[in-house]
Each structure stands twice: as structure tokens, then as C-alpha cells.
Amino acid sequence: MSGESFSEGSCREMADVETSSSAYADRFAGATGAWMLEIQAAAVRTLLNDLPPGSRLLEVGGGHGQLAGPLLDAGYDLTVVGSAPECRERLRRYETSGRCRFLVSDLLALPFEAGAFEAVLAIRLLTHCERWRALVAELGRVARQAVIVEFPVHEGLHRLAPIFFGAKKRMEGNTRRWRPFRKVEILEAFRDVGYECDRWIRQFFWPLVLHRVLRNRALSERLELAARRLGWTERAGSPIIARMVPRRR
């Protein structure tokens, strides 16, 4: 694990507060950061491509605002839930113009009926969530057709994440530890609530800290393109964005 252990607790889950902050957004400033977010958004759009514009989407912990623009531009009806009022700051321009809705809620007790949304998303959330299995259950409860989640895996070069953590923290200043997963953990958690994975996309073969150190978008693009063509990304890329769908009966 590239970080300290997470224990099950009884307090309200607020794993999205830091990722909704301006300090967190600064990690994706510049050309390289914009490229990382483009890769993420493209993966999510690909996994949603069978849902027509107008479909109701819920993004849980989406106060980081990284996907709101792409999802709204694609014509989806978007609601975002955050665990605290400050999680709405990066979404105000969309909310005040009436393009999306933001609600404050306990992430593990969402104020929606079962199957209220065609798809539910949780990006940059599971890895920081202490009670992530409870979150998985709640995501599955309010989704009708699909749940899309992102999670880092402890595979390939990403096994070196603990070694790179010190350098990453020195660079970013406010880096917090995160929890990598084994794919089977995520698959089992969703299977327990009636879902199975029908597709996933691995985003990067090279550790993200390398791209941040390089600060050269063109070089990073070439490195990742080469890894993808060689099949390395498909075998050991991370983070994974996966689409979970109700299990066939």
C-alpha cells in the first residue's frame, strides 16, 4: 500500500473535501496537468458513450470540477454531490448558470431513491475513502444502468509509488497518502452489491509523478503513446477507470 492504513470508522465520510480545493486543482495546472485531465475525461466519455445526451448523471465527490465541463458539454443532465458546502466552489460557474446542480450530503447516505440516475460516477474518490466498500454499495444503489469509478492499482511501475511518494510530496507540498487497490478487491465489492465490470480503461503506464517532474507535455505524450502501442499500458497501467453494470441474471 502506498500510504497509511485506513480503518473503518463511524464518522461522516468526507474524502472529497481536499480534492475539491484550489490547492488540489493546482496539481493539474499547466500543459501537463491539462493533458492528464484530457486523458481522464476521454476515458469517462468513452465509458458513457452508450448513454444519450439528456441522461441523468450523478457525480459523487465531484467537487474537483474536473469532469463537469466535459459532461455538460456532452449534453448530460448532471448533479454533483459533495460532503461539505466548500466542495461546491469549483462548480459555482456551472451551478449559478443553471447548467448543473450541487447538493451537500453524506456520501454514504445519498438523498436519492434507488435507481434515480442512469449512471453514477466517483472519480478521485475511492482511493481516499476510508469506508470505500460502503461507498460502493451506495453508488450501486442509486444507479440504474452503470457505475463508473476510478482507482489506482498496485501493478507494473506503479508498485514503486511508495518510493516516489517523498518526491511527490516535496513537489506538491500538500500531497496526502492514498490507497492503491488490487483489481479483485474492486470487482468483489461490486459483485457483492449486484454489479459486474463490463469494461475498463487504464490511463497511464508511467507513474504520474514522472510526468509532473518532466513538465513536458509533448515528451509525456510520446512516452505514454509508446507504452500503449507496446501493450504495456493495457497490462499494467494505472489508475483504472471502470464501468460496472448490473449483473446479468
Q: Has residue 218 got a pLDDT over 90?
A: yes
In a domain, 201, yes or no: yes
Query: Rounded to two decimals, what is the model's pTM?
Result: 0.88
Give me the mean pLDDT over the 76-97 stretch.
Answer: 96
Q: Is residue 137 part of a domain?
A: yes
Residue 84 has pLDDT above 90, yes or no: yes
Q: Look at residue 1 in the predicted model and tell me its pLDDT.
A: 31
pLDDT attached to residue 164: 57
Q: What percent of the chain has pLDDT over 70?
A: 87
Mean of per-residue pLDDT scores for the chain: 89
Domain count for the chain, please give it.
1
Per-residue model confidence (pLDDT) at position 4: 31
Residue 99 lies in a domain: yes
Confidence of residue 8 (pLDDT cuts 50, 70, 90): very low
**Among 88-97, 156-165, 186-195, where is mean pLDDT lowest?**
156-165
Note the pLDDT of residue 5.
31
In terms of residue numbers, what domain contains 82? 18-246
Q: Is 226 inside a domain boundary? A: yes
Mean per-residue pLDDT for 71-77?
A: 97
The answer to whether residue 172 sits within a structural domain is yes
Q: What integer pLDDT is reported at residue 248 of this predicted model?
A: 81
Average of per-residue pLDDT across 68-82: 97
pLDDT at position 169: 54
CB 36 within 8 A of CB 28: yes
User: Considering the domain boundaries, does residue 230 fall inside one?
Assistant: yes
The CATH number linked to 121 is 3.40.50.150
Q: Is residue 11 part of a domain?
A: no
User: In the predicted model, what is the mean pLDDT of residues 79-89?
Assistant: 97
Rounded mean pLDDT, 147-161: 84
113 domain residue, yes or no: yes
